Amino acid sequence: MTSSRGNPHPLLLVLLLGSLVKVANCSLVSTGDFNRDFYVTWNPSYVNTSADGHTRTLKLDQGKGSAFASNEMFLFGQFDMKIKLIPGYSAGTVVAFYLTSGQPNRDEIDFEFLGNVTGQPNILQTNVYADGSDNREERISLWFDPAKDFHTYSILWNLHQVVFMVDRVPIRVFRNHADKGVPYPRWQPMALTAAVWNGDDWATRGGLDKVDWSKGPFVASFGEYGVHACVWKGNP
């Protein structure tokens, strides 16, 4: 929305300023302790945290998954998490690291790791929701075994673009083209979330390969993380 001279429309400026006054200083806002920065949102008995709070595991077993989310909500920032995926047979499972506003017309920025049969690579799917609109999935095969060791997965989100990174290497850039009518996540604050669940109706070969519960429980590990972001201080 622009004025007749091509400058930003006054209403747009008012909306932007109204959002900015609800955002604290953008800085490192994480402590490195899962117990302090996150809370369990799904199946606490399936979530295990180390004594020092520096690592956490999520379990999927007999159809029940688990998840945790950040105590704070954010409007823009960089979010890094070291993750080690489910080893061995993991077909049908989904491990996710994502930002979400949680609203019906939600904004969301996703890393989704799709499990596979033994010997086949895990597929990394990225997606961007804006105002409840998605269908922006892209998939790649990772160039390493993500279940052997921890690797760093990062989301850089600002007013101009969303950048997905693996071990600091950009693998996808989604630019803000809202001025051309393309929805972009720019208004809704989002929480940082991690989860593991049963997605065997679609995750592996379009749902052909199912979760084999006899090989469970399926465990994903989360390690060192960093949140350099703007904390939202108003209502979502």
Report the CATH number of the 23-232 domain: 2.60.120.200
CB 153 within 8 A of CB 81: yes
Tell me the C-alpha distance between 25 and 232, whole Å.
10
Q: Which two tokens stand for residue 189?
A: 């604050």
Q: Give the range among 45-49, 176-180, 230-234 with minimum mean pLDDT.
A: 230-234
pLDDT digits (tens, 9 = 90+) for 62-109: 989 999 999 999 999 999 999 999 999 999 999 999 999 988 899 999
Residue 236 — very low, low, confident or very high, per pLDDT cuts 50/70/90? low
Strand partners, 96: 112, 195
Residue 25 — very low, low, confident or very high, per pLDDT cuts 50/70/90? low
Which residues form the catalytic set?
Answer: 108, 112
CB 83 within 8 A of CB 199: no
Q: Which two tokens stand for residue 133?
A: 């609109």
Residue 4 has a pLDDT of 38
pLDDT for residue 125 is more than 60: yes
CB 138 within 8 A of CB 126: yes
Preceding amide of 217 cis, omega within 30: yes
Cβ neighbours of residue 187 closer than 8 Å, sequence gap 6 or more: 19, 107
Cβ neighbours of residue 124 closer than 8 Å, sequence gap 6 or more: 111, 112, 113, 114, 139, 140, 141, 142, 166, 171
pLDDT for residue 178 is more than 80: yes
Residue 84 has a pLDDT of 99
- What is the pTM for the complete model shown? 0.88
